[in-house]
Amino acid sequence: MVSFLRFLINGISLGSVYAIIALGYTMVYGIAKMLNFAHGDIIMVGAYISFCAISYLDLPPLLAVLLAMAVCTALGIVIEGLAYKPLRQAPKLAVLITAIGVSYFLQNSALLIWSSNPKVFPSIFGSSALQLFGGALSITSEAIVTICANIVIMIALTLFTSRTKTGKAMRAVSEDKGAAQLMGIDVNRTISLTFAIGSALAAVAGVLLCSTYHTLMPTTGSMPGIKAFTAAVFGGIGSIPGAMIGGLLLGVIEILGKAYISTELGDALVFGVLIIVLLFKPAGLLGKPVSEKV
Amino acid sequence: MLLEVENINVYYGAIHAIKGISFHVDEGEIVTLIGANGAGKSTSLNTIAGLLRSKTGDVKFRGRSIAHTPAHRVVKEGLALVPEGRRVFTQLTVEENLEMGAYTRDNSEIAGSLEQVYELFPRLKERQRQVAGTLSGGEQQMLAMGRALMSKPALMMLDEPSMGLAPILVEQVFEIISSLHRAGTTILLVEQNAQMALSVADRAYVLENGLITLSGTGEELIRSEKVQKAYLGG
């Protein structure tokens, strides 16, 4: 029973990371109707930036995270402006291929700058752990911080999109760009802002991920990126609560699957569940069925 | 002249949709563009609003060219478009839709305008917290009009406001257009319902295949044999 609880908490913690990454996928998809496959690599960049800030500049962890967020925000805006904005009217396939190109570009740049040798990411949240059941169940500080960060981000984003003028404008743009322009909303600026928010969240996710698993390589972002993308589709792409639920479920399924079924099959299980969900709910758990206008 | 459209040519790829038309709207008028499907009525409005671009000519609003102004800046100039098919934000609430209409204005000015819109459309007030997608077609049309009013436009353009509405609602919509006009808003109206449009209009233009083939006062056109035959079923 205690071990089940431990797996469950690990799963929620991993799922929280997926959820934070999935938010970036889902928000960008909602607004720009594109899959930003370079999103996973922003995670990696964020992790490297905070790694350098902590190891080489001796910055305190919090400042390192903020620095990583700032760099990734700028990176997200630049990528959108240089690579995706010129393709606003282009076929979707062109945008998709460009995103894959950006992903390789980021990975190879990281390879050049930081080499392929894995870096050992420091434990930035300390080694203390919460002991429950007389020490039988210990929850690491990473897990606590990750879960809390996820909750804070969820609440903040929900308030942002439902209460602020900019957030409402974002929802308006995601529904109808033409009508949004007629309201006076600058669609390009809104898309840019969405990339900025998504990329800042990716930086946070990178730090949380690496401080839990400690290995940092140029390819660190790809697998979590793909899984978070799965989580976004799972929950219903374009839906913010969907990304949250999708991420958490995916994390829990992965950890429980690895613990009770097979370590090797953990990842296969994750994608298997996606296939089953999509068979019955093609728009994802919280996605709205799209009817094409004729 | 409040709005002056001079020799605009608009293309959709290879299709020449608007072939060098010119027209104008004076302050305080209701002007209508009538014509069949595909004549270029909506294209004209979308070009004025900045969603489409003309290859030639100019669009002037209050004497200033807006032909190259991005669509999201045109609103601030005092020009609002109620688009064809209403295009309310179905996932936003009624009140959020109205707030979006006032996007370019200061937050402090919004409350007063909201009150005015609710006064004009009491039904919207009843449904203010409801998601717009749950409204009926007539209610959505009112929301689209109310949303455009939230920007306090000097010129309001309406694209087929009667489309898909029951006759009683069509009359309601036209009553509202008349009352907005009496309150001082200049109106440029695009309609397939030529009878209704001509009856409220000061002046009208007939569009056919991207060209203006006839123009005159509303009454003149109602009596014109050609309009009678082609658009009024006479």
Residues in chain B with CB shorter than 8 Å from the CB of A184 are 72-73, 75-76, 103-104, 151
**Between chains, do A184 and B50 touch, taking CB under 8 Å as contact?**
no
Q: How many residues does chain B have?
A: 234
Residue A183 has its nearest CB partner, among B50, B90, B100, at B100
pLDDT at B183 over 60: yes
Q: Is the ipTM of this complex over 0.95?
A: no
Q: What is the pLDDT of residue A287?
A: 78
Cα distances from A130 to residues A1, A76, A112, A123, A133, in angstroms, run 18, 36, 40, 16, 10
Q: Does any domain span residue A247?
A: no
Q: What is the pLDDT of residue A45?
A: 97
Residue B83 has its nearest CB partner, among A175, A182, A185, at A182
Residue B100 has its nearest CB partner, among A168, A178, A186, at A168
Residue B76 has its nearest CB partner, among A165, A184, A187, at A184
Helix-helix angle A187-213:A2-32, to 10 degrees: 160
In chain A, the number of structural domains is 1
Q: What is the pLDDT of residues B82-91, one digit of tens each?
A: 999 999 999 9
Q: What is the pLDDT of residue A293?
A: 44
**Between chains, do B81 and A182 touch, taking CB under 8 Å as contact?**
yes
Average pLDDT of the segment spanning B2-19? 95
Q: Does any domain span residue A216?
A: yes
In chain B, the number of structural domains is 1
Q: Does any domain span residue A254?
A: no
Select from A160, A181, A182, A192 the residue whose CB has the most chain B CBs within 10 Å, as the one to mutate to test that interface.
Answer: A182
Q: What is the pLDDT of residue A252?
A: 94
Check if the beta carbon of residue B31 is closer than 8 Å to that of residue B218: no
Q: Does any domain span residue A274?
A: no
Q: What is the pLDDT of residues B29-55, one digit of tens each?
A: 999 999 988 899 999 999 999 999 999
What CATH number did the domain enclosing B151 receive?
3.40.50.300
Please give the interface size between A and B, counted as residue pairs whose CB atoms are below 8 Å apart.
Answer: 67
Instruction: Chunk chain A into consecutive blocks of 10 residues (it has 294) and report each block's average pLDDT, rounded to whole numbers.
Output: 89 96 94 92 96 93 95 97 94 94 96 94 79 79 92 95 95 95 96 97 95 91 92 90 93 92 85 88 79 48
B107 touches chain A (CB under 8 A): yes
C-alpha B151/C-alpha B110 separation (Å) is 9
Residue B100 has its nearest CB partner, among A169, A178, A186, at A169
Backbone CA torsion sign across A103, A108, A111, A116: positive
B90 touches chain A (CB under 8 A): yes
C-alpha A204/C-alpha A197 separation (Å) is 11
Q: Which domain holds residue B149?
A: 3-231
Q: What is the pLDDT of residue A294?
A: 43
Where does the pLDDT of residue B226 fall: very low under 50, low under 70, confident under 90, or very high at 90 and above? confident
Q: Quote the minimal CA–CA distance from B75 to chain A in Å.
A: 6
Check if the beta carbon of residue A209 is closer than 8 Å to that of residue A20: no
- Tell how strand B155-159 and strand B186-191 pair up: parallel
Residue A181 has its nearest CB partner, among B71, B88, B107, at B71
C-alpha B229/C-alpha B213 separation (Å) is 14
Cα distances from A287 to residues A198, A232, A235, A290, B100, in angstroms, run 19, 10, 7, 9, 24
Q: Does any domain span residue A290?
A: no
**Between chains, do B100 and A172 touch, taking CB under 8 Å as contact?**
yes
Q: What is the pLDDT of residues B61-116, one digit of tens each?
A: 999 999 999 999 999 999 999 999 999 999 999 999 999 999 999 989 999 999 99
Check if the beta carbon of residue A161 is closer than 8 Å to that of residue A170: yes
B169 touches chain A (CB under 8 A): no
* Nearest residue to A177 via CA among A163, A194, A162, A160: A194
Mean of all residue pLDDT scores within chain B: 94
**Within the 70-89 window of chain B, which residues sit less than 8 Å (CB to CB) from chain A?**
70-73, 75-76, 80-81, 83, 87-89
Check if the beta carbon of residue B51 is closer than 8 Å to that of residue A181: yes
**Within the 138-167 window of chain A, which residues sit less than 8 Å (CB to CB) from chain B?**
165
For A247-279, b where at least 16 C-beta lie within 10 A, e where not — what string?
A: bbbbbbbbbbbbbeeeeeebbebbeebbeebee
Check if the beta carbon of residue B153 is closer than 8 Å to that of residue B79: yes
Q: Which residue of A has its CA nearest to B102?
A: A183
